[in-house]
A and B are shown apart, each in its own frame.
Chain A
Amino acid sequence: GNSVTQMEGPVTLSEEAFLTINCTYTATGYPSLFWYVQYPGEGLQLLLKATKADDKGSNKGFEATYRKETTSFHLEKGSVQVSDSAVYFCALSASADRGSTLGRLYFGRGTQLTVWP
């Protein structure tokens, strides 16, 4: 089946530190992979995505590379800011060629990031 395993938090960093949040997945076929961010009291916002192996998604200084050989999609940022404090979710969408319905997202449990000034 399809599932996402995400590094447990909370993660606490000082401003300008390097961030890595690990994410691995299990899926049949060739899923699309996503990182979403949730700020307090708000819904999820799509941060970045990758739709095929070796693709790199990037946005707002965050990056993640779709690694099929290690079934991973780790989120990285070189220098975090206080405003990056939020919960980060890794997610996948199954590929349609395996009989799965497009659209359904499978989420990890989320990682709380707190950045101190």
Chain B
Amino acid sequence: NAGVMQNPRHLVRRRGQEARLRCSPMKGHSHVYWYRQLPEEGLKFMVYLQKENIIDESGMPKERFSAEFPKEGPSILRIQQVVRGDSAAYFCASSSQGAPNEQYFGPGTRLTVT
């Protein structure tokens, strides 16, 4: 019974490049959440998605960041023109429709911008 999958686990990008982070939710889960963990800090909410819908993106930076959860395939968090301050661990979580408070987390993608 696979849990939440994220890939890649580690991603290195030079300043100005694009970063694409993927998240496959647990089987049967239709809700996906993205969180960012900066060094020495707790997790900060970024965005909440259902299939083909953005429910809450109040935690997303206004520029360069976007997220999608298509009808088929994984959820994608996309960061354009990365800067050093984007270096962080990005965690994806998923839940079933009836239990949004019961979130299961993936292992995270550690993004390093050089």
Contact = CB atoms under 8 A, between A and B. Distances in A.
Interface of A: 4, 6, 32, 34, 36, 41-46, 49, 51, 89, 93, 101-110
Contacts of A4: 42
A100 to B, nearest CB: 9
Given A43-B4, A43-B108, A106 B45 contact: yes
Contact of B43 (A42, A46, A103, A107): A107
A39 B93 CA distance: 16
Q: For B31, B33, B102, which residue has the most chain A Cβ atoms within 10 angstroms?
A: B102
Given A103-B48, A104-B56, A105-B45, A93 B101 contact: yes
Contact of A103 (B6, B33, B40, B108): B33
24 contacts: A34-B101, A36-B105, A41-B107, A43-B4, A43-B106, A44-B43, A89-B43, A93-B100, A93-B101, A101-B48, A103-B31, A103-B33, A103-B48, A103-B55, A103-B56, A103-B95, A104-B48, A104-B59, A105-B33, A107-B43, A107-B44, A108-B42, A109-B40, A110-B42
A95 to B, nearest CB: 10
A51 to B, nearest CB: 8
Interface of B: 4, 6, 31, 33, 35, 40-45, 48, 55-56, 58-59, 91, 93, 95, 100-108
B104 A46 contact: yes
Given A44-B43, A109-B41, A101 B106 contact: no
Given A44-B43, A104-B56, 7 more contacts: A43-B6, A51-B101, A101-B56, A103-B31, A104-B45, A104-B58, A105-B33
Contact of B55 (A42, A44, A101, A105): A101
Contacts of A36: 105
Q: For A49, A101, A103, which residue has the most chain B Cβ atoms within 10 angstroms?
A: A103
Q: For B93, B101, B106, which residue has the most chain A Cβ atoms within 10 angstroms?
A: B101
Contacts of B104: 46
A36 B93 CA distance: 13
A43 B40 CA distance: 16
